[in-house]
Amino acid sequence: MPRIHNFSAGPCTLPVEVLETARDQMLDYEGTGMSIIEMSHRSKPVQAVRDEAVQRMKHLLDLPDNFHVLFLGGGATLQFGMIPLNLLNKDRTADYTHSGAWAKKAIADAKGLGNVNVVFDGSAADFMTLPDPSTVKSSTDATYLHLTSNETIGGVQWKDFPACDAPIVADMSSDFLSRPFDVSRFGLVYAGAQKNIGPAGLAVVIIRDDLLEKCNDGLPGYLSYGGHVAGDSMLNTPPVFQLYMVNLVLKWLEGKGGLAWAQDMAAKRSGLLYDTINKHNAFYRCPVDAKFRSTMNVVFRLPSEDLEAQFVKEADAAGLSGLKGHRSVGGCRASIYNSMPMEGVEALAGFMTDFAGKHG
């Protein structure tokens, strides 16, 4: 079976070169006579992988020294809880922006642990738009302001970030490493790995010293950011396979040209799809406010749900997989992360044009 083009929202396609390396090293990592996943996490090779991944991340993001990079098991969903467990309490307040399905989960966890102000609520607009960042201010007593940089289900994406007084805490799960950003506005950035970073089962957390110092004491060991920083992401046995794969993906991204390359490619991939939708706007329709359309998740509708089902089915038969929209909103969605080759997007654009010609 040849490799097919995989437009899943995540887990999603990974660079072929990375998969080939994982395959070739599966029984013998660099002449050690064992797999990297069979080695003690205290061994030199595993520690070197962790150190390399941290250094690559710092370099790609141009991180100042007052930020710490953590790789943690449990995914971004655990972070929805860990953030307020560490940073909120009954005497503290956080601002949250409600931009869609993922923001909603983050808000739900925070509400049980402290005072939450929802400073933007997109529900009345069905989460098809976002606020002008310059209008978003934090409350005077906010410990942080939380936002979701990209909503995979709605297909909306912050193009710039608020310049608010409170440090921003951002769930960047679905567009992390797809563009440069000014990290100095952020106190904590987190992302599940399974979009642009590697396989599912790991979250990257980047935390600034001043937020680290504000963390609550007395938490269970695994739930304390301080413990993970002190343990250099090896407070406990980490998900070694994911660490290894993340390091390979970051190396691959460096070779491609880093975040500038990622941003340029994201614009090209998403541009081609949005252009195709516009060109056939009697057939395809993107419901998202043009100012906030995601470069990662292109959502679109066809004239009927029957045609959408047929589109997904025929695309799948043509080697274009994973185009069904999220079950909560329906429609179609093409997720086009860093690892999606341009040929995949061109094949999809061609298929869309043909399909519109036949059924439009």
Instruction: Report, as residue numbers or ranges, the catalytic residues.
Output: 102, 171, 195
Contacts of 120 (CB under 8 A, 6+ apart): 97, 98, 99, 130, 131, 136
292-351: contacts with its own copies (CB under 8 A) = 319, 321-322, 327
Whole-angstrom Cα distance, residue 136 to residue 125? 17
Which of residues 122, 167, 238, 325 is near its own copies by CB under 8 A? 238
Read out DSSP for 110-122? HHTTSEEEEEEE-
Question: Pairing state of beta strands 142-148 and 93-98?
Answer: parallel
Binding mask 160-199 toward its own copies (x if CB under 8 A, else -) reads --------------------------------x-x----x
**154 close to 288: Cβ distance less than 8 angstroms:** yes
35-74: contacts with its own copies (CB under 8 A) = 35, 37-43, 72-74
Which of residues 66, 184, 237, 304 is near its own copies by CB under 8 A? 237
Number of residues that bind its own copies (CB under 8 A): 73
Q: Where is 352: in which H helix or E strand?
A: helix 342-359
Identity of the residue, 221 or 360, whose beta carbon is nearer to its own copies in the bound complex = 221
Identify any residues that bridge with 151 across adjacent strands, giving them in sequence order: 156
Tokens 């043009």 found at? 290
DSSP summary character for residue 324: B
Interaction of residue 80 with its own copies, rule CB under 8 A:
yes
Identity of the residue, 222 or 252, whose beta carbon is nearer to its own copies in the bound complex = 222
Which structure tokens are listed for 38?
A: 């069979």
Min dist. Cβ of residue 211 to its own copies (A): 18
Identity of the residue, 24 or 165, whose beta carbon is nearer to its own copies in the bound complex = 24
The stretch near its own copies (CB under 8 A) out of 144-152, 162-170, 215-223, 301-309 is 215-223
Binding mask 89-128 toward its own copies (x if CB under 8 A, else -) reads ----------------x--xx--xx---------------
Whole-angstrom Cα distance, residue 325 to residue 336? 13
Which of residues 242, 270, 276, 295 is near its own copies by CB under 8 A? 242
Interaction of residue 230 with its own copies, rule CB under 8 A:
no
The identity of residue 194, as a single letter, is: Q
- Where are the strands (E) in the chain, listed by range? 5-6, 67-72, 93-98, 115-121, 142-148, 150-151, 156-157, 168-171, 186-192, 203-208, 297-300, 320-321, 332-335
**190 close to 173: Cβ distance less than 8 angstroms:** yes
The stretch near its own copies (CB under 8 A) out of 49-57, 61-69, 237-245, 268-276 is 237-245
Interaction of residue 257 with its own copies, rule CB under 8 A:
no
